[in-house]
């Protein structure tokens, strides 16, 4: 039986037994290569479930939809390793209880998918820890390498041009599982801390605020970059922040839910070299 069919059976069981009140997965989209988030509450809705190599969106952010988890009932969600790490971070940041989330783990290898064994995010610790190791030795993205070679002035010009396309639709924020603030700093308008205008200053303010707030928290799932309607290479910023946090604090986010949020916790022996 294919991974998709095995999971269909499992999901039907989860729903018909009443173990979970909802399963969040994927279904077919408008075009052959698109998948849509699919919310299943009855076994009948499971027939539309699709699980294949086009299921790349990190669905963990939906768990924080207002009121969804407040009744204490469990929800199952299809997650790749990046999504499982998101659950750990959200739990570490007290946004959800990981024992309310049933992980339906899978991974994509080229055009193939495989099931990952485990039920709670903590069951996948071997996997999340090994991805830490893999990230340390990951070859630099060619575009990142190109940016590193630039002079600061050239790099500034690169981002000025990229950000000039920003239309402040906040799709990057809304698509990000880590951007869960009920009221984002840019929506605080008394006073208006961050300009809502799409001029050079406003675009830098927003994109830098977004990237900074994700330092040590981003799982590099790519939801932001895919959501951006004007294709700003947001992933490059997040990659850079991940590299910096890894080098400075040896912190790789989402390994476990007991991992302390790196920039929100204080340790006496923290290096102070970053303080100017």
Partner 1 sequence: MTRILSSDKLDNCVARWRKAGNKVFGPVKKETTSSYAAVESAAEFDLGLILPDRSVKELFFPQTEPMMRYSIKKQAIDTEDFQPPIEKRIIFGVRPCDASGLAIDDPLFGWDYKDDFWFKRRNNSVIITIACTKSDDFCMCTSLKLAPDSTKGADVMLRPLQNGKGWQVEELTDRGREAVKEIADLLQDSAEPTAPNAMVPEKFNLDACVAWLRNPENFESSFWKEISMRCIGCGSCTFLCPTCHCFDFQDEGDTYNGIRRKNWDSCSFALFTMHTSGHNPRSTQSARWRQRIMHKFNYFPGKFNVNSCSGCGRCSRQCPVDMGITETLQAISTLQP
DSSP single-letter state for residue 199: S
How far apart (Å, rounded) are the C-alpha atoms in residues 85 and 244? 19
Q: Cβ–Cβ contacts within 10 Å for residue 183, how many?
A: 8
How far apart (Å, rounded) are the C-alpha atoms in residues 125 and 130? 8
Q: What track of x and - describes contact with partner 1 for positions 136 through 175 (by CB under 8 A)?
A: -------------------------xx--x-xxxxx-xxx
Residue with tokens 């990057």: 172
> Phi/psi of residue 124, each to 5°?
-105, 20
One residue of 202, 204, 208, 256 binding partner 1 per CB under 8 A: 202
30 touches partner 1 by CB under 8 A:
yes
How far apart (Å, rounded) are the C-alpha atoms in residues 142 and 146? 6
37 touches partner 1 by CB under 8 A:
yes
Helix (H, G, I), strand (E, B) or coil at 87: helix
2 touches partner 1 by CB under 8 A:
no
Nearer to partner 1, 170 or 252 (CB): 170
One residue of 8, 12, 35, 210 binding partner 1 per CB under 8 A: 35
One residue of 53, 100, 198, 248 binding partner 1 per CB under 8 A: 198
- Two tokens, residue 56: 């790349």
Subset of 48-67 contacting partner 1 (CB under 8 A):
57, 61-62, 66
Helix (H, G, I), strand (E, B) or coil at 125: helix
Subset of 83-142 contacting partner 1 (CB under 8 A):
none
Query: Which residues form the interface with partner 1 (CB under 8 A)?
Result: 29-31, 34-37, 39, 57, 61-62, 66, 161-162, 165, 167-171, 173-175, 183, 187, 189, 192, 195-199, 202, 223, 226-227, 229-231, 233
């Amino acid at each position: 039986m294919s991974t998709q069919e095995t999971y269909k059976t499992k999901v039907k069981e989860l729903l018909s037994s009443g173990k979970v009140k909802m399963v969040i997965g994927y279904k077919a989209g408008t075009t052959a290569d698109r998948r849509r988030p699919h919310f299943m509450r009855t076994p009948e809705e499971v027939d539309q479930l699709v699980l294949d190599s086009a299921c790349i969106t990190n669905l963990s952010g939906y768990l924080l939809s207002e009121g969804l988890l407040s009744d204490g009932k469990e929800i199952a969600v299809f997650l790749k390793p990046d999504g499982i790490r998101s659950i750990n971070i959200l739990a570490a940041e007290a946004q959800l209880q990981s024992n309310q989330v049933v992980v339906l783990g899978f991974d994509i290898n080229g055009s193939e998918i495989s099931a990952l064994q485990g039920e709670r995010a903590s069951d996948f610790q071997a996997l999340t820890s090994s991805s830490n190791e893999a990230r340390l030795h990951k070859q630099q993205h060619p575009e990142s390498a190109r940016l590193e070679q630039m002079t600061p002035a050239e790099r500034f010009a690169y981002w000025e041009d990229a950000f000039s396309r920003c239309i402040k639709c906040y799709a990057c924020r809304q698509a990000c599982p880590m951007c869960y603030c009920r009221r984002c700093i840019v929506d605080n308008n008394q006073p208006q801390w961050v300009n809502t205008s799409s001029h050079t200053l406003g675009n830098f303010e927003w994109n830098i605020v977004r990237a900074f707030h994700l330092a040590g928290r981003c799982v590099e799932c790519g939801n932001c970059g895919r959501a951006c309607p004007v294709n700003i290479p947001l992933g490059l910023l997040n990659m850079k922040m991940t590299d910096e946090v890894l080098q400075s604090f040896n912190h790789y986010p989402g390994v476990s839910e007991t991992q302390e949020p790196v920039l929100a916790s204080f340790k006496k022996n923290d290096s102070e070299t970053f303080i100017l």
